[in-house]
Amino acid sequence: MILRPRLEDLKIIGFYLGKIILGLAFTMVIPLLTGLCFKEFNPTLDFLISIEVSVLLGLLLLKICHTEKDLSWMQGMIVVSLSWVVAMVLGAIPLYLSGHWKSFLDANFDAMSGFATTGLALVQDLDHLSYTHNLWRHLIMFLGGQGIVVIALSFFVRGFSGAFKMYVGEARDERILPNVIHTSRFIWLVSIVYLILGTLALGITGIFNGMQPVNSFFHGACVFMAAFDTGGFSPQSQSILYYHSMIYEVITIIIRNIPEY
């Protein structure tokens, strides 16, 4: 199948890949709304363009490759592999448009670094990066830590056809609930609860350290997403040193040691 893919194989792979792309486009709405809240109109436009590109590509694949057939094990692994590459390219578009990356290749490097939770960065002038793009840097790390396929299974796969093969294709085998779609949604529910609690803890600590409330909770959310998934991103170039707080560091260490699903 890998050496001699049939047209039918390509259609099945393209159809499920389209669903994953739509899931990624859905997550870009979060930084877009953040840009509107902070009145960062140019960054908001960057994400509007990125969402349009992602939605058009996703819908195009769903239309051209529409099929009712189930994934095979090999097709499931290929879909997952391609989803990480596509997520890197689409996730890099708003980063590159910000002007804080010297080339699109650099933006791709940071996007994959985020999704893979390695934390290596090529961003320029991080301390003056917009709230909108900074949130996206950390959000892709949060998404990558839970799994790109988990996003699609949680929000865009209504039936059970092919779901388990995509889930296993991302090197997962845990099934907390009877089926993988419910398991994926449960993983996100737990992760979001942790996110809220961690952001509150770090945000309140930041306020006591003299940070403005909005800025404090924004930093709290970003630091939590990086720490929870063992990534190395930070909202400031000084990383955790920026906060000059032992309590802040202790909370971050606790967050890092929270067991993940």
Rounded Cα distance, 123 and 120, in Å:
9
Q: What is the dihedral of CA 143, 84, 231, 222, to 10 degrees?
A: -40
Q: List the domain boundaries for the chain.
A: 7-256
Please calculate the CA angle 167-189-45 and round it to the nearest 5 degrees. Answer: 85
pTM: 0.84
Q: What is the dihedral of CA 35, 40, 46, 50, to 10 degrees?
A: 10
pLDDT digits (tens, 9 = 90+) for 143-152: 887 766 665 6
Rounded Cα distance, 150 and 130, in Å:
28
pLDDT digits (tens, 9 = 90+) for 35-67: 999 999 999 999 999 999 999 999 999 999 888
pLDDT digits (tens, 9 = 90+) for 180-201: 566 767 777 888 899 999 999 9
Instruction: Determine the average pLDDT of the residues in 201-213.
Output: 93
